[in-house]
Structure 1
Amino acid sequence: MKLITHKGFGFIGNGRDKDLFFHRSAVEGTRFEDLQQGQQVSFTLGQGPRGPCATNVQVL
């Protein structure tokens, strides 16, 4: 997981060519500010205005 904390979003590696975008509002069970680079998370694959994205992002 890569975080762009000052902009309120991040990217989750999905094992394919392109990482999945997620917005701070998609984080559940913890605050976006408490996430850490490289942390393991679970998520649901969703669809955003620019293509696939991660929703329901939760720390494992």
Structure 2
Amino acid sequence: MLVSLSIYWHLPLMLLVISLVYSATRHDAWDDILVEAFRWGIRMFGFMVLVAIVLFAVAYLM
């Protein structure tokens, strides 16, 4: 189990970097960039959790 989870250690860092870069392309002020990065990060995290739940359910039903 530990070995299979070790491939996901980079996901929080990728989520942070991608949300900051995406927000920086939309806004100029740092305050706006950080607020939008937080919002975008929450949405992306929710999407990843939803995908994980669906994959877990599919694996559990098989």
What range is the shorter-chain TM-score in? under 0.3
Higher helix content, 1 or 2: 2
Structure exhibiting the larger radius of gyration computed from Cα positions? 2
Q: Calculate the TM-score normalised by the size of structure 1.
A: 0.22
Q: Calculate the TM-score normalised by the size of structure 2.
A: 0.22
